[in-house]
Amino acid sequence: QLFVGTFIDTPSAGELRIRSDHLLAISPEGYISHLAPLHSDSSQLLLSSLPTSTIPTEIPPHSFFLPSFTDLHLHAPQYLFNGTGLDLPLLEWLERYAYKAEERIDGSRELAERVYERLVRRLLDNGTGCVSFFGSIGVESNLILAKKMQELGLRGFIGKLSMDQSPRPTYGESSASSSLQSIAQFLDSLESYLSTYPSHERLVQPIITPRFIPVCSDELLVGLQKLAKQRDVRIQSHMCEGRDQMDMVMKRGKRDHEYWDELGFLGPKTLQAHVTYLDEEMIPLVKDRQVTMAHCPLSNAYLSEKQFPLREAIDNSLSVGLGTDIAGGYSPSIQTQMRQAVIISRMREGARCESMNCSFAESAHKEGAGNHLKVDWKESLYLATRGGKKGMGLGGCFEVGMEFDAQLIELANKDTPTGTGALDLFDLTSDTKLDDDSWTENLERWWCVGDERNRKGMWVQGRKVA
């Protein structure tokens, strides 16, 4: 498979790479095997080595390939009640809505099929090609999610929940040992299902998921950590999300991050959602252990009291991506999370300015030159693509050897010269040639006001999926 056109990605935070008139080749297994200027020797050599019938697909002008988005934190069964009850505090919201919905999904195969099919399609429509899911407790419903992902072409990780201390009598696991048996059964069943696919077509991986410390016994946590090591499986959970949750952990004698660390849970294969209370003391620990964090700005605005210190995380080169946290955050769109992350960082900056009684520029100056709290749109694009993927041991940009997981975005086309409807780019006519500066300007406009209507296709592992 060959494409000619513009490829835009973000290899590091804040770095926007625009490659126009490039030739990209995809191997039969779905990996990028070549990317160079069309008129370079290497591209011409590649083209001349192919049968003359092989014609590269030229993407329309004013269109570009961007890596698909990665959503590092989403509770799949909670899509059932997405957008409900968000004025409640976290722990009450969990009991009133989340546990109930998860119990319903576990109780009905038909409902799980319906909700998960809709969810997977909706995510692909929104440009998400890779997700780290929290599922429910039931083995069967998590396998249904795996099948939907495989069939519809969504990459990701499935976390069958482990929780032996549930406050809801009808939804939980009765003991650490039965919980450990159930997760082992899930790992085996998923492996057996995936073995019917050749390895490069396996889009789904399991991820061990103790829901959060308040609903897990020490015995269960120790067992899960051992299992993750034995089977070399990634781990995810919630860490330092909100005050009520952290207070519950304190009753067991330690701060949330200390608890996880003492049990050996913090490492390069660990993903922690939220970490809203990341502070100066925690940063060296998270950095040293190479933990990845899912920043969920919309959810934090409802279920946490404060916002994640994103600027500090990026400046300390911590591993961060974005998460929707459905249903804690109601939008399934990572584009919404990018915007929200930027808005919130600017509000943090604004709050600091107010406390210092000065302007944005003066506040950075007072704190030391360049010391801003705000984050820009290019940095958010990094988090949505490379940041999230890198944290999960995957690619996330356009480089030879990486999986081709991409979305095709059209800014405007020649039939509707002033935009596709989603974007009114009045200056863009069919013969406008975009240089790097005008690509950057138009990209920022798409980032601000674009939507699903600009998305003309999604590819996962080289296969067109939507």
State the minimum distance, in angstroms, from the CB of residue 75 to Fe ion.
Answer: 6
CB of 271 to Fe ion, least distance (A): 11
325 near ligand GUN, judged by CB under 6 A: yes
Stretch that binds ligand GUN, among 90-98, 200-208, 251-259, 348-356 (CB under 6 A): 90-98
Instruction: From 379, 389, 355, select the one nearest 460 (Cα to Cα).
Output: 389
Return the one option of Fe ion, ligand GUN, none that residue 211 interacts with (CB less than 5 to 8 A, by type): ligand GUN
Nearer to ligand GUN, 249 or 384 (CB): 249
Q: Of 205-224, which residues contact ligand GUN (CB under 6 A)?
A: 211-212
Rule CB under 6 A: choose which of 238, 257, 295, 352 binds ligand GUN: 238
3 state DSSP class of 205: strand
Choose, by CB under 6 A, the member of 98, 216, 334, 423 that binds ligand GUN.
98
Pick from 10, 299, 307, 454: which binds ligand GUN (CB under 6 A)? 299
d(CA 202, CA 192): 12
34 strand-pairing partners:
25
Site for Fe ion in 252-281 (CB under 5 A): 273
CA 281, 283, 286, 291 torsion-angle sign: positive
Instruction: For residue 92, give the H/E element and its range.
Output: helix 90-93
* Sign of CA pseudo-dihedral 399, 404, 407, 409: positive
Q: Can you tell me the distance from the alpha carbon of 449 to that of 461, in angstroms, rounded to the nearest whole number?
A: 28
Cβ neighbors of 266 (< 8 A, separation 6 or more) are 257, 260, 272, 285, 286, 289, 291
Question: Nearer Cβ to ligand GUN, position 241 or 349?
Answer: 241
Q: Which is nearer to ligand GUN, 187 or 301 (CB)?
A: 301
Using the minimum distance from each CB to ligand GUN, give the nearer residue, 62 or 238: 238
Residue 88 or residue 222: which is nearer to ligand GUN going by CB? 88
Which of 94, 204, 381, 460 binds ligand GUN (CB under 6 A)? It is: 94
327: Cβ contacts below 8 Å, ≥ 6 apart? 75, 78, 79, 81, 82, 83, 84, 97, 98, 101
Nearer to Fe ion, 340 or 454 (CB): 340
Reported residue count of the chain is: 466
Residue identified by tokens 């249903």 is: 327
To which H or E segment does residue 103 belong? helix 99-107
- The rounded distance, in Å, linking the Cα atoms of 450 and 53 is 36
325 part of the interface to Fe ion, by CB under 5 A = yes
Residue ranges in contact with Fe ion by CB under 5 A: 273, 325
Residue ranges in contact with ligand GUN by CB under 6 A: 75, 90, 94, 98, 211-212, 238, 241, 299, 303, 325, 328
